[in-house]
Amino acid sequence: MSVHFIISNVGDVIEPDGYSLALSSVLVAMTADVSIEYRSRILGFLRRYLNFEHLPGEHPRMVLEESADDAVERVKAYFLSTGVPVVPSRKPNCEHELDLRVPDGQSTVHAQQKVTILRQFHQLCGSLKVGGRTAENPIELPGWHQKSEEDRRESWRTRHGDTSYGWLNAGLRFKTSTRTAYLPLIENPSGCAEKMTLAMVKHGCPATIVAICHVLEENGCRWREAAWANALGWSLRGFGEIVHTTNKFEADEHAKKIMLAPDVLSDIIRRFEAQPHPKDGGRSMIDHLRELATAGDKAALRAIPLFPNSRGGFHQHRTFNGHWFRPAMEAWENEDGSRGLLIHSDVSARRPTPHWYRHAEITRELEQAVAECRTDAEILEACRSVCRSFSLKTDQASRYAAALMRRLANETQMRRIRERRAGNEARRRAVDLPIAVGRLELSEAERLLMLLPVRRMEAA
């Protein structure tokens, strides 16, 4: 593979003719506000894709100049070069859809993630007029760019009903033919959230970071729902303990309510009271918030974070997780002197992420909900109820139920073995089987003699 596009670790692109401002703008926009790991994954994939030679001897910029139909063939050839064939979909009324046949043992999630990256890349190239790219996206179904938002949603509802999750994949031409179902790991909720918050405190994280952890620990919400809470959502209930914030897969910016612990609420009020009024030095910032709420200035309230970073803005993934949370988990010292906080699940022990606050709270609720269940149907219905309360995907309920059934089956087996062992203990004590000769008492020569074959004479 000839390297025609040189891409730096921050998204700058150098073509054979020199620095490409347009293409650099696309890559910088794609990697803004993402974690360092995901940024590296995006740039590494696009580095390979842009330098992939589809036709022998083609011009290096053909990847940016070709038509949408030719771009489709390029994407198919690229996936095939990585060992993933692309074939027409077998589903009815899906004549333009293409299936990625991911081999067994490879991740279907990573394959679908590459499709998502390519879709965003071509969309930005069309928006920023890079090369010959237009609004027609080769990763999307033909004519998708011409549909209105309502037509797109109607197309989605016709095929998937009222299922809200997966809407981000609406209109995709390339899809994985089979998605490997997984069973969620059931984390041990005892002390999980408390240990993570304690690790953040010991690491010396700022007060707003620790406050976010307290909100995650108490509500079991996603980290962005807490970290991106603003004064507008706080003002809807009179600047009290309830804050309205966003919820995944819902368009309403105030779709979810989170609770502020008394100490967190007190810290927020004190912080705003310590800041001066922007126009009146004799009053505080909390007075200014009330004035904005009375005037109905939603834009001004929306721009004020409840948990600001050092620059007064909203925390991003690279600051909350990359700069504070992950180093705090790595710096944690265990009782045996080793470093790194590990949270045990039902099959392994892993380094936690901010989402484990939510995992632990879901596990706690699930264990309480299924405690009195006696049948598989009752367990499934209890899991569905818990998943609805946490606004999870509907198919997650069956996966959690399967994971809990697996755990209950293992616990039943262990209990059966303990009962059988206790019942056989008396019988084993009644039979006194003397040990012939301890192997450790034998010399090496005696041990070798015992291993020699013995000729036995049979009675005539």
Domain ranges of the chain: 6-176, 192-360
Write the Ramachandran bin of 187: left for phi over 0, alpha for psi from -120 to 50, otherwise beta.
beta
* The pLDDT value given to residue 308: 93
> Looking at this protein, which amino acid is placed at residue 39?
R
Question: 3-class SS at 266?
Answer: helix
Contact between 383 and 397 (Cβ < 8 Å): yes
Q: pLDDT tens digits for 293-345? A: 999 999 999 999 999 998 889 998 878 988 899 999 999 998 888 899 888 77
Write the Ramachandran bin of 340: left for phi over 0, alpha for psi from -120 to 50, otherwise beta.
left
Query: What is the distance of C-alpha 95 from the center of its chain?
Result: 32
Q: Residue-wise over 49-70: b if at least 16 C-beta within 10 A, else e?
A: bbbbbbeeeeebbbbbebebee
Output the pTM of the full model. 0.64
CATH of 192-360, picked from 3.40.50, 3.60.70, 1.10.443, 1.10.260, is: 1.10.443
In the block, which residue shows the tokens 């095939």? 80
* The pLDDT value given to residue 163: 59
Q: pLDDT tens digits for 232-255? A: 999 999 999 999 998 877 778 898
pLDDT under 50 in the chain at which residues? Answer: 460
Q: pLDDT tens digits for 341-369? A: 888 776 667 888 898 898 888 888 888 88
Helical packing angle, 356-369 and 207-219, nearest 10°: 20
